[in-house]
Structure 1
């Protein structure tokens, strides 16, 4: 670190200047620290934090600033020279050569005050190594800076980035400046580290939510499909109720179920069950066998029954030559599916079996039904029947009332009417909400 002997942020505090000028310098330094604290305290995206950081330094302290930072997205950098716009696209990683230079400085975890050679190829090479292939190199040359200060950003004992600063010739940084900026860099490192942690946690949570969300139900020739899924904990966007439909268009496996609990924990269990069912269906397409194999997986993997407890309905839908579907259904402790016939009658499908994940030797029955064009198979979770109003629960009577007059209506109309009826029953201010899911399937009349 080299003392250039020039004036710091306004003036050298050790000179015999009048009290007013010394007070002005202190105010400038205080303003820099206060502004950094304010802007970084309100930002949770690393790229935006870098932009605000370099703007603050250039506006309040120096003529050039660049910050290189490492986050879950890799290395990124943003820089600015007084009189120029920001350089460095958000979230774009820095080049390998610059990353190596940054790591080299960080490995020493000590400030580096570089004296720059005159306008020579060596000067440009030094700046390019430190700043990367960037317009910042030419802009810094225009300042004719005599030195560049590199300050490691160290938080929790590890280097997370590098702050590089410079001033135009004649306003070069002094030893007093460097001491002050070292302290600022330490505070800055802590603030940026918090930003990185928040961003990394959000990224991890977003990735987890995306992985836990069930895939969209596929369109199937000859089958009209509609669904509804509401999570109890809307802030996490995932829950324990799940719907899945997969297989060939003429031979589909349907799954609708309810994993114990709410939120992310229930969504993890639901994901495990969906995956197990898809795997089991590769071995045996019969829904009772699918549930048997899935149950064995859950029992063997769980440390306690509570962890994997779930109810489910599993069905196999095979399209016939006349456009109808043969439907085989098995039930694991779940509310009974309903067949809404085209003429408007309701048939509750009673096919009994215990919930998944409790008994290793559980057995599941099956029943076979025929869906003609216009008939609708409706499966739902207990978030529908157990929706609690002011006096009682929605129940099967509520379902029957909601479905009245919908015989032959499209699946989307059936799902929408049922979902709206439950929502109205609960009321807008109800706190007693559970995950809820509905799926309706109907052979197309035109098939």
Structure 2
């Protein structure tokens, strides 16, 4: 059964006013607004919220938040360690199912009639950490109902002075900065979760393992793009044992470009179940990119789509279709680097699209490198671009290296060239035909 009395109206809806609050209490409230406004961390804000009122307003304090049907969050502290100062006062906290909260606190949380201050009569009260407090105090409903239900518990010892009208008014005023800090922290936490989920969904998927092929990628979003890139690099396995790959560059940076790139990757995953022909796939992607109702809504993208199949005798056959993208680079066994100029128009430029195709044969150990302009157009501190010649020289240097080494060396060499300067999104895909394995027991 609930052991608290009739609700009383909250005395404050904003910050403290000097003419209404005695000087010591005004100092306490100003310190609360200052300290509770320093962090967007829920843990830091909650710890500060239970430390600040001890011992100025209470001997023990607890903050309880319920943000959903599954979990409640609580923090408690008391005055036994107050000699160490509020910054070092121990705070206990945990996440528990709401049903595990003490019944008298659950009853208070169930009252949904806006902010209020309720007295807690003298008795032994179980706190969320399982300890008991022998005393009395007040319960204050926090003004953050749209994000969670929350109460602040302020308790004094049994022989301590009762909470009078001025104390209850101060408790209500203190709940304002606590509620604001909790609301800001919860909003920030939810935004971070959304951003992290979006980033995870938009990052390249793990590469499939394909017999006869050695595949590797490198992916580095622009520094100013919130770790989300408009560059596309994706490899999708085909039913016949080959793979369908896409490397592209969506116009723009950041969230909008990353979302558009994510749609193209998802489309490729679906289309590869219908056709393995790169030209057909480009045509469908182009139709999906053009918005005839608004030129601003059309998403322009340069792209290369390729089907790659290892051949029975070793080596690999690539069929590459391009739409306005940089030419793929083929690294021959001799170290020679050949640019495959395909042409075609970028996605979204017109309907129907006009695209081109090229077929490339890789002997065992040879590689094809697809990349975005973040590689060749990377500018160092002097403004000089990394350029295609330096990229070709690097590929010659690592002509016989595994695909993962090639991709890593390209990325690292470009980063070194930038020397900390801002850069565009970078995406690299290396497709290498596995070298022929010499037969066992061959001639000596």
Query: Which residue of the partner structure matches residue 278 of structure 2?
Result: 287
Superposition map of 1:132-281 within 5 A? 134-136=129-131, 139-140=132-133, 143=134, 145=135, 147-155=136-144, 160-171=149-160, 172-234=162-224, 236-248=226-238, 250-281=241-272
Q: How far is the alpha carbon of 1:391 from its aligned partner? A: 6.0
Query: Which residue of the partner structure matches residue 331 of structure 1?
Result: 322
Please give the alpha-carbon distance, in whole angstroms, between the structure 2 residues aligned to 1:395 and 1:159. Answer: 54
Please give the alpha-carbon distance, in whole angstroms, between the structure 2 residues aligned to 1:231 and 1:313. Answer: 19
Q: How far is the alpha carbon of 1:385 from its aligned partner? A: 2.3
Query: Which residue of the partner structure matches residue 88 of structure 1?
Result: 93
Query: Which residue of the partner structure matches residue 119 of structure 2?
Result: 113
Q: 2:350 aligns with which of 349, 359, 368?
A: 359
Please give the alpha-carbon distance, in whole angstroms, between the structure 2 residues aligned to 1:425 and 1:2. Answer: 70
Q: Could you tell which deviates more after superposition, 244-253 or 262-271?
A: 244-253
Structure 1 residue runs of 5 or longer lacking an equivalent are 4-24, 120-126
Structure 2 residue runs of 5 or longer lacking an equivalent are 7-20, 82-89, 438-444
Please give the alpha-carbon distance, in whole angstroms, between the structure 1 residues aligned to 2:421 and 2:311. Answer: 45
The C-alpha deviation readout for 1:384-421, integer Å capped at 9, x for no partner, is 22233536533322322222333222223323343344
Q: How far is the alpha carbon of 1:329 from its aligned partner? A: 0.8
3-state SS of the aligned residue for 1:135? coil
The C-alpha deviation readout for 1:148-187, integer Å capped at 9, x for no partner, is 4111111598875211111111213222211221111123
* Structure 2 residue 286 is matched with structure 1 residue 309: no
Query: Which residue of the partner structure matches residue 408 of structure 1?
Result: 400
Q: How far is the alpha carbon of 1:328 from its aligned partner? A: 1.0
Structure 1 residues 301 and 247, CA gap change in structure 2 (3 angstroms): farther
Structure 1 residues 234 and 217, CA gap change in structure 2 (3 angstroms): farther
3-state SS of the aligned residue for 2:219? strand
Q: How far is the alpha carbon of 1:434 from its aligned partner? A: 1.2
Q: How far is the alpha carbon of 1:349 from its aligned partner? A: 1.7
Please give the alpha-carbon distance, in whole angstroms, between the structure 2 residues aligned to 1:422 and 1:403. Answer: 13
Q: 1:43 aligns with which of 21, 33, 39?
A: 39
Please give the alpha-carbon distance, in whole angstroms, between the structure 1 residues aligned to 2:280 and 2:270. Answer: 12
Q: How far is the alpha carbon of 1:110 from its aligned partner? A: 1.9
Q: How far is the alpha carbon of 1:241 from its aligned partner? A: 1.0
Q: Confirm or deny: 8 A CA contact 2:291 2:298 kept in the other structure.
A: no
State TM-score, norm by structure 1.
0.81
3-state SS of the aligned residue for 2:51? helix
Q: Confirm or deny: 8 A CA contact 1:379 1:440 kept in the other structure.
A: yes
3-state SS of the aligned residue for 1:257? strand
Superposition map of 1:384-395 within 5 A? 384-389=375-380, 390=382, 392-395=384-387
Q: How far is the alpha carbon of 1:67 from its aligned partner? A: 1.1
Q: Confirm or deny: 8 A CA contact 2:36 2:177 kept in the other structure.
A: no
Please give the alpha-carbon distance, in whole angstroms, between the structure 2 residues aligned to 1:241 and 1:272. Answer: 12
Structure 1 residues 382 and 158, CA gap change in structure 2 (3 angstroms): closer
Q: Confirm or deny: 8 A CA contact 1:160 1:193 kept in the other structure.
A: no
Q: How far is the alpha carbon of 1:70 from its aligned partner? A: 4.4
Structure 1 residues 414 and 301, CA gap change in structure 2 (3 angstroms): farther
Structure 1 residues 107 and 391, CA gap change in structure 2 (3 angstroms): closer
Q: How far is the alpha carbon of 1:355 from its aligned partner? A: 0.8
Q: How far is the alpha carbon of 1:341 from its aligned partner? A: 0.8
Please give the alpha-carbon distance, in whole angstroms, between the structure 2 residues aligned to 1:351 and 1:305. Answer: 28
3-state SS of the aligned residue for 1:115? strand
Please give the alpha-carbon distance, in whole angstroms, between the structure 1 residues aligned to 2:222 and 2:142. Answer: 42
3-state SS of the aligned residue for 2:48? helix
Please give the alpha-carbon distance, in whole angstroms, between the structure 2 residues aligned to 1:169 and 1:179. Answer: 21
Q: Confirm or deny: 8 A CA contact 2:325 2:346 kept in the other structure.
A: yes
Aligned length: 406
Query: Which residue of the partner structure matches residue 439 of structure 1?
Result: 429
The C-alpha deviation readout for 1:253-311, integer Å capped at 9, x for no partner, is 11111011011121111111111111111111111111111122222598436641111
The C-alpha deviation readout for 1:105-127, integer Å capped at 9, x for no partner, is 342432111325x66xxxxxxx5
Query: Which residue of the partner structure matches residue 122 of structure 1?
Result: none
Q: How far is the alpha carbon of 1:75 from its aligned partner? A: 3.6
Q: Could you tell which deviates more after superposition, 295-304 or 175-184?
A: 295-304
Query: Which residue of the partner structure matches residue 63 of structure 1?
Result: 59
Q: Confirm or deny: 8 A CA contact 1:152 1:161 kept in the other structure.
A: yes
Question: Whose helix fraction is larger, Structure 1's or Structure 2's?
Answer: 1
Structure 1 residues 295 and 74, CA gap change in structure 2 (3 angstroms): farther
Please give the alpha-carbon distance, in whole angstroms, between the structure 2 residues aligned to 1:425 and 1:302. Answer: 43
